[in-house]
């Protein structure tokens, strides 16, 4: 988000895409995948499996409203 930093990442792995929400512990409902970092949560998206697009879109909206990480983030 311009001026606020990044709020998610995509890790492309051979059999799936891992969507990482940097402030995922603040999202509701909570994304299912845990991380070694307490604030980060993941969602693994596998080809051919159903994806709840409504929940995914809501997580993106929620994440975009939270403080970001990295370049563009205010000091």
pLDDT at 9: 96
pLDDT at 72: 55
Measured CA angle at 29 (ends 23, 27), to 5 deg: 20
pLDDT at 34: 96
* Per-residue pLDDT at 5 exceeds 80: yes
In this predicted model, what pLDDT tens digit does every residue of 12-69 receive, in sequence order? 999 999 999 999 999 999 999 999 999 999 999 999 999 999 999 999 999 999 988 8
Query: Over the chain, what HEC string results?
Result: CCCCCECEEEEEECCEEEEEECCHHHCCCCCCECCCCCCCEEEEEECCCCCCHHHHHHHHHHHHCCCCECCCCCC
pLDDT at 68: 85
């Amino acid at each position: 988000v311009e001026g606020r930093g990044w709020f998610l990442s995509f890790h492309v792995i051979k059999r799936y895409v891992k969507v990482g929400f940097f402030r995922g512990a603040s999202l509701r409902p909570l994304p299912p995948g845990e991380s070694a970092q307490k604030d980060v949560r993941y969602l693994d998206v596998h080809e051919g499996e159903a994806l709840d697009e409504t929940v995914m879109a809501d997580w993106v909206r929620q994440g975009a409203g939270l403080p970001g990480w990295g370049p563009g983030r205010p000091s």
